Amino acid sequence: MNILVTGGAGYLGAVMVPKLLKEGHKVTVLDNFMYDQTSLLDCCYDQDLTIVRGDTRDKVLVKKLLKDADAVFPLACLTGAPLCKKEPEAAKAILLDAVRMILGLKSKDQMVIFPTTNSGYGVGEKGIHCTEKTPLRPVSLYGTLKVDAENAILEAGNGITLRLATAFGVSPRMRLDLLVNDFTYRAVYDRFIVLFEAHFKRNFIHVRDVANAFIHSLNNFDKMKNEPYNVGLSDANLSKSELCAEIKKHVPEFYFVESNIGEDPDKRDYVVSNEKIEKTGFKREVSLSDGIQELVKGYNIIKRNQYANI
C-alpha cells in the first residue's frame, strides 16, 4: 500500500516507518522535524520512502500528499499533557483541526488509523478495568483533544482508533519524558526517586508493539474498522511504586520512597482491559521487563536531557 504518515519522524513514527517499509509498503513521511531529530536517516536508502519536510496544518501540501495514499496514519502531535498545556492553540491545531482537515480531504475509501490515548479514561473506578465502553473522562487538554479527534474519525467512517497505553522503550527519536523511560533513566543515573501519589495506576506498552498494532490494524482493517481498541500490556497495569519495583530488578541500587506531602499534577489513575484487540489476534512481543532491560542498555549511550517534548 501507499501509506502517508504525518509526524513520521517522531518517537513512534521512527519505529513504525522502518517496519512498514520492511512489510513492503511505500511510505511518505510528512514531518516538520521540530526537535531537530535525525531519525529515519537509516531508512533514506530505501526507494519506497519519501520524506517531506512540512507541516500537517498545510492544507495544500496535505491534499497533494493524500492524492496517492491508500491509508493515512496521523501521528503528528504535540504529545503529552505538559506540552499541550504550554501550547494550547498549537495543540488544538495539530491534534484536532489537522485531523478534521484530513477527514475532509480524504476519499471515503482511504483508511485512517489514529493513535489516541487511554489517558482519556482519566480517573477510573478502583478495581474495575476500563474497556472501550467505559465513559471517557480526560483530565487534561491533551486527553480531551485526543478524544475529540477519535470521535471525529469514528463518525467519519473507515477508520480505526488505538487507545494507546503509556509507551516505553528505545526509539531513534528518543523520549525521556515518558513514565517508564523517565523512571528507568533516574534509576540508572540518580539511583533514587521520590514518588508522589505512588498508588496511581496506569497501563504500559512498548513502542515496537504500538507499531505492530498499527500494522495489525492495517492487515485486519475490514474486520476492525470503525471501532476503538485499547492497546497495552495486560500484565502491566501497575502503580508507580510497582513500576519502580520492576525497575529495581534490573538496577538493584535503585532506591524509591513515597513522599507524605505534595501531589502529582498528573491525576490519571486507571487499569485497562486490552481484551478487545487481543480477540482480533493481536499479540504483544515485548514485555515490560525486556523493555526496561533495553532502556538500561540504551542509557549507556544517552546521558543528556534533550530527549523530551518539554
Rounded to whole angstroms, the Cα distance separating 67 from 28 reads 12
CATH top-level class for 179-201+236-273+281-298? alpha beta
| Residue with grid cell 480531504, as numbered in its chain | 105
Tell me, what's the pLDDT at 267? 75
Distance of alpha carbon 105 from alpha carbon 93, whole angstroms: 16
121-161 tens-digit pLDDT = 988 888 899 999 999 989 889 999 999 999 999 999 999 99
pLDDT at 109: 96
- pLDDT tens for residues 224-264? 999 999 999 999 999 999 999 999 999 999 999 999 887 77
Distance CA 191, CA 281 (A): 40
Helix axes 207-219, 13-22, angle to 10 degrees: 50
pLDDT for 303 equals 80
Helices (H) and strands (E) in the chain, counts: 12, 14
List the chain residues with pLDDT less than 70: 305-310
Note whether 2-168+204-231 and 179-201+236-273+281-298 share their fold. Answer: no
CATH number listed for the domain at residues 2-168+204-231: 3.40.50.720
pLDDT of res. 310? 59
Residue 214: all three cell numbers together? 498499527
Indicate the pTM of the whole model: 0.94
Nine cell digits for residue 132: 472501550
Domain ranges of the chain: 2-168+204-231, 179-201+236-273+281-298
Alpha helices (H) along the chain: 13-22, 59-66, 81-86, 88-92, 98-105, 141-156, 179-189, 207-219, 221-224, 240-248, 275-278, 288-298
Distance from the Cα of residue 80 to its chain's centroid: 10
CA 244 – CA 258 distance, rounded (Å): 11
